[in-house]
Structures are given as C-alpha cells and as structure tokens.
Amino acid sequence: MPEIGDSLSFDTAKTVLVPAELYEKGAEEDYLRFNGMTLAPGEVAVASDPRNGIVAVMGVPAPEWTPHKDKYERGEVGVTSPLLFAAGGFGSGRRGREVIILLTAGNVYLAVWDGSLRMAEVLPDNSVDSILYYMQVVGRMFRLRKFDIHLGGQGAGPVAEALRHYYKKVRAI
C-alpha cells in the first residue's frame, strides 16, 4: 500500500464509487454489499477522502488499515484509491471521449469518459489478454474507436502496444 503525499492508496478489487453528496459515514459495508461485494474475514470497509465529488469505498485487509486508522481519524493522513485517479482523469479540466486505464500489481482500474464519467470499474486481472477482453466488452457499450485511450502504471507499455492493434489513439503515460 503506497503513500501518495499524505494519503494512503489501497489497491483492491473491492472498490465502489459513491457520489460524495450521497455518501453516509458508517454505511461503507452496505455500499460494498449493494454492489455484490462482501467483506472476507479479516477485511474492513474503508472510505476515501472525496475527490472530484466522489468517495471510494474499499474492502481492505485489516492488517493494512489498522496501523493507520488513528492517524486517519485525527486527520493526519488521507485515504485514496487508484479508481479515484482513473475516474478523475489524469490532471484536471473537462474530459472528452477517453478511456483511462491504471495498472497496478494485480488490478486494472478503468474509467470511461464521454463528456462525463460513464463507467468506472476495478478489474481483478491485469494480464494483456484480460485487458484486451475487457476493452472488447467495454467497446460493445461505447464506440471506443473514436476515444483516446490513456494507460498508466505497472506494465502500461506492453498493454498499449497490444491495444494499438485495435485502437488508433493509445498513449502510455
């Protein structure tokens, strides 16, 4: 779990996004459950700080969270998720037609923008073949041939190379 500035970033497939204006402290397990995710024994539900009007709720192994819980409650450290970065785009400003893919050691964080955020998901397999499959499925929902595709993170280069066989505007960041 890397620290980003004064924030802890948790890499977990058990992540859902909640509009900040609808988020209720104490309902974290419910948000996960409503999205088909149950906490395993030894996991706790943790909410991120809001970013661009969105809160990420995550299922995190208790041993990763417990050493930081007091600092978080005192406001000394924040919490974030790679999905918030994907959903917020790289940088700030208005998003056009783009797909943002962040790769971590085990997950793919994918967000689709078409003037506004249309989809944000965590996918639990970051192999090139799996990402090509994910993009094929997402391509059925959106006409991705006209989208810019931005990739970042661990192993972005080989994934970008594979995607260039199917999409014109692919860039590894």
* Listed residue (115, 13, 118) closest to 59, CA to CA: 13
pLDDT given at position 90 = 55
Q: Where are the domains positioned within the chain?
A: 3-80, 89-172
Determine the topology of domain 89-172 in CATH. Answer: Nucleotidyltransferase; domain 5 (3.30.420)
Averaged over 127-155, what is the pLDDT?
A: 93
What is the percent of the chain with per-residue pLDDT over 70, rounded to a whole number? 93
pLDDT in tens, 31-46: 999 999 999 999 999 9
- Residues 6 or more apart whose CB falls under 8 angstroms from that of 74 comprise none
- Please tell me the predicted confidence (pLDDT) of residue 2: 47
Q: Which of 84, 83, 114 is nearest to 98 (CA)?
A: 114
What is the model's pLDDT at position 92? Answer: 44
- Number of residues that this document lists for the chain: 173
Q: What is the rounded CA–CA span in Å between residue 148 and residue 89? A: 12
At residue 78, does pLDDT exceed 50? yes
Alpha carbon distance 18, 57 (integer Å): 7
Is residue 94 predicted with pLDDT exceeding 90? no
**pLDDT on residue 3:** 47
